[in-house]
Amino acid sequence: MLEFDDIQHILLTRTPAITGRYEFLSFDTPAGGRSWLTELLDKVQSATDAQATMDDSDRWVTLAFTWNGLRALGVPEESLATFPGEFREGMAARADILGDTGSCAPEHWVGGLAGDDVHAIAILFSRTDEQCKRSIEEHDKLLARTDGVRSVSYLDLNASPPFNYAHDHFGFRDRLSQPVMKGSGEEPTPGSGAALEPGEFILGYPDEDGPVANLPEPEVLSRNGSYMAYRRLEEHVGAFRDHLRENSDSPEGQELLAAKFMGRWRSGAPLVLAPDKDDPELGADPMRNNDYNYKEMDPFGYACPLGSHARRLNPRDTAHNMNRRRMIRRGATYGPALPEDAPDDGVERGIAAFIICANLIRQFEFAQNVWINDKAFHELGNEHDPICGTQDGMLDFTVPKRPIRKVHKGIPAFTTLKGGAYFFLPGISALRYLASLDS
Amino acid sequence: MTDQDWTKPAAKAIPKEGYFELERGRYGPIFPRTPACYGFSIIAKVKPGREDAVREHGKTIEAAIADSPEFLAPLRLHYLRWLLFDIGDGLTFQYQGIFDTDFDKYTEDAVQLFGQSGLNTVFTNLEGFPEDWKENPDAFVKFVREHHYPSFLEYGEYPYATADEIKKALRLKAAFSTMLDQMQ
């Protein structure tokens, strides 16, 4: 039975926020960190709370901590040692494992995210710009009156028009393929696979393999918690559009090439179900837009290339043990939309997302290492994920086609990682436990 | 990709550590792909009195594959060779596998496969193998890494070709034969 009232809402609910801010914080003293946390405790909604007040709420708060942050709050060493090694090391220290090299390496990250002094994140999501402004003001006041806690950096978020569905700056519909947990009250949409054991995403519950050993201690700290891999991914919209124009001879050709990279049309319609032209009605229909497989419906990738983004991140029936590799994605876009036909303006825009899972090595790092940045994925030989893989201009992208495939050479980087971190997302009781730690 | 030309037999001498340059993988140093693909050689002492159980496990795997030929497919193997030997200091088991996924993924997939299938792993007969391997896959990974003896030479007559590529080539040959038959 899921303890909805003890689980931070971000794990189980999607809020109708269209704006917000991520605040990255540092605790100079344990007491400062705990005062900050104490004041925010009643602002953090559990899943129960968020669901009950969804229509009336204008803002939603989520708090999470790095391993250095837990230490800075005064978590005892013997407890800190029970957290898994990858979380203790942090994302920046594992950049080589993740494939975050070249222009994506931590030395190029912004917002101080590669530093050891990033201790916590406050995710402040809002329904309106007015509310967002109020939340930021309130949080600024909290920082001003609390000694021993300071802002390292922040990132302002905003959805870009049209607002009636979630999409990234390239224009691709998002939130199409999310796993569902048993006991969450949600039903998986057709094609999304059966609901999974909660322990795949939340600590303290059995996972797909049964009971889980070696959780962080004490139990009050780990129960109903989870891990979040934060990724701030700049999207080079101008470069993406230029590449499509230079490599297609018609607007239809550009749309098709964009879809080949992604595995779906911008509308969300999957190439497997709509191989030749977009079908926006299909893209917008959750009962149909995820209802397909690869092994029987597109084994050679004639519709959806073997190395496309969607196929790498969810190979469905063409990979083994998929239920052990699923992740929850949350997040938002940032930066202004680049108008159609406008040249690149040099302004940073992109996606700032959280990948939430119970085991960073087995889920998030596996996806980075074996799916996104593995040249040999599906025997391709010289490719990374064309959308979010690390690209140095030397790699290919193969589009299977009868009678003979088309290999696009020298794929440029359409995105660049600008920062990241591993956070622990405590349950509500664990937040209280952290706030009451005595230094 | 010139060093991965399957037409040119290749040999590679490997340093003592098992890798040329330290590159970190998810669970530890990455053991590189060689002309003989990825692989491992696990060598460990057999618990006293377990020889029959280990040999019996050979039959269990034989039956599992006969019953379900795709059973080991997730491991993307070329070959498995299991040996028992005693050179004077007790019975020792050697598990040599040649495969196309990386070392860590192989181990993860193996834990999953044997845990789920209800087939116990042959490793439970080995000294030092974690009793709680099903609940504690990290301990399984650690055991494998601690008992892996990297090769110091590997050779491939058709280097770097994956099992999938070989099967594709054989399927192509079969398809051509069928085509030629149809044209008689």
Contacts of B23 in chain A (CB under 8 A): 96
Q: Check whether the bond before A218 is cis (ω within 30° of 0).
A: yes
- Give the closest of B23, B73, B134 to A96, CB-based: B23
Mean pLDDT of B162-172: 93
Contacts of B73 in chain A (CB under 8 A): 320
User: A320, A323, A363: which to substitute to probe chain B, counting the most B Cβ within 10 Å?
Assistant: A320
Instruction: Give the pLDDT of residue B3.
Output: 58
How far apart CA A202 and CA A224 sit, in angstroms, is 6
CB A263 within 8 A of CB A270: yes
Contact flag B1-A210 (C-beta cutoff 8 Å): no
Question: B107 to each of B76, B113, B143, how far by Cα in Å?
Answer: 12, 10, 10
Contact flag B26-A369 (C-beta cutoff 8 Å): yes
> Is some CB atom of chain A closer than 8 A to the CB atom of B177?
no
Contact flag A209-B137 (C-beta cutoff 8 Å): yes
Contacts of B101 in chain A (CB under 8 A): 370
For residue B113, what is the nearest residue in chain A, using CA coordinates? A321
The pLDDT tens digits for A368-419 are 999 999 998 988 989 999 999 999 999 999 999 999 999 999 999 999 999 9
For residue B111, what is the nearest residue in chain A, using CA coordinates? A209
Interface of B with A in 87-116 (CB under 8 A): 100-102, 105, 108-109, 112, 115-116
- Give the closest of B26, B164, B165 to A365, CB-based: B26
How far apart CA A274 and CA A309 sit, in angstroms, is 16
Instruction: Give the pLDDT of residue A163.
Output: 82
- Model pTM score: 0.93
Contact flag B26-A366 (C-beta cutoff 8 Å): yes
Q: Is the pLDDT of residue B2 over 70?
A: no
Interface of B with A in 22-41 (CB under 8 A): 23-27
Helix-helix angle A30-40:A428-435, to 10 degrees: 140
Interface of A with B in 71-100 (CB under 8 A): 86, 94, 96-97
How far apart CA A295 and CA A279 sit, in angstroms, is 22
> Which residue ranges in chain A fall short of pLDDT 70?
439
Contacts of A210 in chain B (CB under 8 A): 134-135
Residue by residue, DSSP assigns A13-39 as ------EEEEEEEEESSHHHHHHHHHH
Question: A86 to each of A116, A254, A263, A388, A423, how far by Cα in Å?
Answer: 15, 40, 31, 21, 11
What residues contact A230, with CB distance under 8 A and at least 6 apart?
A91, A113, A121, A352, A353, A354, A419, A420, A421, A422, A423
Contact flag B164-A379 (C-beta cutoff 8 Å): yes
> Is some CB atom of chain B closer than 8 A to the CB atom of A381?
yes
**Lateral strand order in the sheet of B38-45:** B38-45, B92-99, B77-85
For residue B70, what is the nearest residue in chain A, using CA coordinates? A320
Q: Is the pLDDT of residue B119 over 80?
A: no
How far apart CA B9 and CA B66 sit, in angstroms, is 33
Instruction: Give the pLDDT of residue B1.
Output: 43
DSSP-derived 3-state class of residue A181: strand
Helix-helix angle B103-117:B137-146, to 10 degrees: 130
> Is some CB atom of chain A closer than 8 A to the CB atom of B165?
yes
